Structure 1
């Protein structure tokens, strides 16, 4: 097996290392006694040592790459073995998610319209994530506060693009590590999720002068936009997403016929783009009304009539204007 050849090569490197130690002992003696050498001998020694250093640096670079590659492959093979054995097994009342390696094989065999991370899969993940995020937030609000409150981010339908964007970015960032250990997904999820949360908070405040969350009272926060606790939550979510939720979503998408799936994706995408545009305009006009600005165009009148403050306050129950998260 070629892996055996790789092992033999690494052992050859160790044997060469011992042989080189003998050679370098001679160099050490000459380097310690340079003052007794003639100028020509010193120049020759300097040339030899410089050449050795260059070769050692090249060898070090190659060995680091080989070490990283071998470590990555060992981790991936171990993960694929464990997750493949556990794939779709029942655990209590629930069935485990299929292993990502199983999904990869099924997508290849089925020639699915949404194989890998192409446009169709990314779009469907964004829409599904936008919907699922709202459902989770509503249930959390009900559990914590005892009442149901809107957590939508768009004016039409129970969708919040923050979660959709989060799901897409998580997928794009972690997809290449889907068959690696969970620790990598945790670290990647924590970093990616925190960056998304910070940028969205900054963007909302910059564009509309409003905020939807403020962590300024939480320990280890950054400008009130992100904090350590929620970064850890993002890490957990990264593992949950790429190891459990993503393969389930991909498995459902696999069951959609190719032609119907493409049409459905485009219809939903066009609707979501329209919904996002209407929502941005409605929130922008709402912020103008908060500042006391009167309508100056037919568009302003339209949004005042169809999206008055009372409706916007029901949709965006937690949005506040004129606050600073710092």
Structure 2
């Protein structure tokens, strides 16, 4: 019992340390040399100007009260009003944000990691499975979810700006999700000889990689993504303000590009090894040595590669 409590305490300290380190690093990135961007010249709606003015007053007052040692205490109604004002300002900023490679890279990473964790949690809760659901040879990434996050964000942002009805968002999300699963599943089997999922035994199956239950899931996810996740996530990501932020995301993009390239190379060599094709150069020799069939089967536990089980 004693050591269990000690372990929990150590775990809590480690988590707290990680959170502190992440916050410090994000703050450090924001303190780099500023970059200049062309500001959009537009007239802010009166509601947004009023909300921004109230928020500015609140944060100034909060800082002053903390400085004199008398922290500001708000009632539940005041906190609710404050959150509403923050949403007004955030939604206006997000609806007029210029989406570029910077946001796309971060969205891909967040979607890849978050989707992987949710899928593994779902498999554990529903089936008791603890197998890895990784999609790349390095890192906790599932590119299907990363691409899905990027597409859903870009499309839902356009639908938000056009004030699309909820049913339109639902239908568009169904189509996007279905096409993504179809193209990804077909591409993996055709180009890489790998099968990561198979819906042929699922009621409502349309193709090997598309089924009605999952289309409805994509539709529901699209609604949540458009109305909740997109404004929150893009508001959190924002736009780069320092060179440190740009360089860091460039490094992440380069790493992901290398990860994708190595994954394709490893699957290609796996298929060639199964066909008895020897390596043609030093790079393929290195791939065979470091990414053997055993490694591939252990890394991609949920996949069937070239029709062979694990």
TM-score range, shorter chain: 0.5 to 0.7
**Structure 1 length-normalised TM:** 0.63
Segment of structure 1 superposing worse, 145-154 or 191-200 = 145-154
Deviation at 1:138, TM superposition (A): 1.4
- Paired residue for 1:152, among 131, 134, 143? 134
Structure 1 segment 122-271 matched on structure 2, within 5 A: 122-178=104-160, 179-254=163-238, 257-271=241-255
Q: 3-state SS of the aligned residue for 2:168?
A: helix
Q: 3-state SS of the aligned residue for 1:164?
A: helix
Deviation at 1:152, TM superposition (A): 1.1
Bigger relative contact order, structure 1 or 2, given CA contacts below 8 A and separation 6+? 2
Deviation at 1:316, TM superposition (A): 0.9
CA displacement 1:26-85 (0-9 Å, x = unmatched): xxxxxxxxxxxxxxxxxxxxxxxxxxxxxxxxxxxxxxxxxxxxxxxxxxxxxxxxxxxx
Deviation at 1:134, TM superposition (A): 0.9
Question: Which is higher, the Rg of structure 1 or of structure 2?
Answer: 1
Deviation at 1:106, TM superposition (A): 3.5
Give, in whole Å, the separation in 2 of the partners of 1:122 and 1:255. 11
* 4+ residue runs over 6 A deviation: none
Give, in whole Å, the separation in 2 of the partners of 1:208 and 1:152. 15
Cα 1:171–1:217, aligned 2, differ >3 Å: closer, same or farther? same
Q: 3-state SS of the aligned residue for 1:301?
A: helix
Give, in whole Å, the separation in 2 of the partners of 1:102 and 1:187. 29
Question: What do you get for the CA RMSD once the two structures are aligned?
Answer: 2.6
Deviation at 1:285, TM superposition (A): 0.9
Cα 1:102–1:315, aligned 2, differ >3 Å: closer, same or farther? farther
Deviation at 1:321, TM superposition (A): 3.0
Q: Does 1:316 align with 2:295?
A: no
Deviation at 1:300, TM superposition (A): 2.0
Equivalent residue, structure 2, for 1:70: none
Segment of structure 1 superposing worse, 166-175 or 156-165 = 166-175
Q: 3-state SS of the aligned residue for 1:127?
A: helix
Give, in whole Å, the separation in 1 of the partners of 2:89 and 2:167. 21
Cα 1:164–1:261, aligned 2, differ >3 Å: closer, same or farther? same
Gaps of 5+ in 1: 1-88, 110-114
Equivalent residue, structure 2, for 1:289: 273
The answer to whether the 8 A contact 2:137-2:262 is kept is yes
Equivalent residue, structure 2, for 1:276: 260
Q: 3-state SS of the aligned residue for 2:132?
A: coil
Deviation at 1:105, TM superposition (A): 2.6
How many equivalent residue pairs? 225
Give, in whole Å, the separation in 2 of the partners of 1:268 and 1:322. 31
Give, in whole Å, the separation in 2 of the partners of 1:219 and 1:176. 33
Q: 3-state SS of the aligned residue for 1:156?
A: coil
Give, in whole Å, the separation in 1 of the partners of 2:93 and 2:156. 20
Give, in whole Å, the separation in 2 of the partners of 1:304 and 1:158. 22
**Structure 2 length-normalised TM:** 0.66
The answer to whether the 8 A contact 1:212-1:318 is kept is yes
Deviation at 1:257, TM superposition (A): 4.2
Deviation at 1:233, TM superposition (A): 0.6
Q: 3-state SS of the aligned residue for 1:171?
A: helix
Deviation at 1:209, TM superposition (A): 2.3
CA displacement 1:97-127 (0-9 Å, x = unmatched): x75x643434589xxxxx3322211221112
